[in-house]
Amino acid sequence: MTAWLVTGGAGYIGAHVVSALLEAGFEAVAYDNLSTGRTEFVPEGAAWVEGDILDAEALTSALSAHGCSGVIHCAGYKYAGESVKYPTHTYLQNVSGTATLLDAMAAARVGGLVFSSSAGVYGTPETEVVTEDTPCRPESPYGESKLVAEWLIRDQVTATASSDAPLAATSLRYFNVVGSGRPDIYDVSPHNLFPKVFATLLRGEPARINGDDYATPDGTCVRDYVHVADLAEAHVEAARALDEGRAVEPVYNLGSGAGTSVREIVDAMRDVTGITTEPLIGPRRAGDPARIVAAGDLAARDLAWQTRFTIEQMVRTAWEALPRE
């Protein structure tokens, strides 16, 4: 099998991707600047390179030294809410970082790229189920930066098409990533849903639900949640397709097509943790649509991808991996 470099390979998502690559028989190189990643997340058997996504020389060196055939690009600034406060930092990491990576890949003559994008590029869609044809109208610097990075990749594919080192690439868009595929890798972000709710429950405070009067079965918002192990598997299957020279779409959505309500998430957390504090019902948040989920039909067709975990399993694996003080 070939070697693939994973940017952000010591992070919550990236380390799961590295682990999935190794399990699938690939060689894996974890590349991370440790701004949020942790070396203890890097699975045994993976090569480790500490380096920044903005360091073209370090990237080129790592790609060449390990004979990589492709890159799975997970590195970036991933916080939509925080990106509003720090737009220049967001664009630097997500847009300039992707441009730097593309230059390094060209210098090292590496021809495969799987970009870990985001359903944040859609903003608030007018349809309840998002497809790859849904218009992109991002509403945060984060979503905008992911979309611009996709454009950069698209343009590089076009620019290199007739060269002796063409780039083949695809981007994977997804909503909320949750759960844990390994007991030693967990979500460390204070901004993500599961860690925030777990921390609230452990403090003895009630979880907060923003509105319970939506036109949904239980009145709370419905969203798409993807287990991180399923997400990692999709990245590996996309890498495999590129390695094998199969035709791929420029973009794939990774979603259940059904979604889960906020009430269902909170109830599952109360059941799994045994902390049965009743949630606090607050007013709706401005701009929150009743239901947004993504259809994963194209990923199922081309990457044989499907969601495998129930919401109870998503919550349980996240809770069991959560470190205890």
pLDDT tens digits, 284-324: 877 677 888 999 999 999 999 999 999 999 999 999 998 87
pLDDT > 70: what percent of the chain? Answer: 99
Does 246 have pLDDT greater than 90? yes
Residue 266's CATH number: 3.90.25.10
pLDDT per residue over 115-173, tens digit each?
999 998 998 888 889 999 999 999 889 999 999 999 999 999 999 999 999 999 999 99
Separation of alpha carbons 108 and 33, rounded Å: 20
Q: Which of 83-87, 124-128, 182-186 has the lowest mean pLDDT?
A: 124-128
Residue 65's CATH number: 3.40.50.720
Banded model confidence at residue 29, pLDDT cuts 50, 70, 90: very high
Separation of alpha carbons 157 and 161, rounded Å: 6
Among 40, 59, 57, 167, which Cα is nearest to 29's? 59
Separation of alpha carbons 69 and 232, rounded Å: 18
Cα torsion at 103, 104, 106, 109 (round to 10°)? 180
Pair (197, 146) in one structural domain: no
- Rounded to an integer, the average pLDDT of 233-237 is 97
pLDDT, residue 155, reads: 98
If one counts every other C-beta atom within 10 angstroms of the C-beta of residue 31, the result is: 32
Which structure tokens are listed for 70?
């492709």
Give percent helix, percent strand, percent coil of the chain, each to the nearest 5: 40, 20, 40
Residue 214 appears among annotated catalytic residues? no
Separation of alpha carbons 136 and 145, rounded Å: 12
pLDDT, residue 80, reads: 79
pLDDT, residue 292, reads: 85
pLDDT, residue 105, reads: 98
Residue spans of beta strands (DSSP E) within 167-290: 168-174, 176-178, 208-210, 222-223, 225-227, 251-254, 260-261, 280-282
Pair (101, 211) in one structural domain: no
- Rounded to an integer, the average pLDDT of 183-190 is 90
Does 325 have pLDDT greater than 70? no
Pair (142, 271) in one structural domain: no
Please count the structural domains in the chain.
2
Does 18 have pLDDT greater than 80? yes
Mean pLDDT, the chain, whole residue set: 93
Which of 235, 254, 273 marks a domain boundary? 254
Range of the domain at 290: 178-224+256-321
Q: Are 175 and 292 in contact (CB under 8 A)?
A: yes
pLDDT, residue 287, reads: 65
Task: Kindly name the residue from 31, 77, 122, 142 that is annotated as catalytic.
Answer: 142
pLDDT, residue 290, reads: 84
DSSP β-bridge partners for residue 178? 227
pLDDT, residue 324, reads: 72
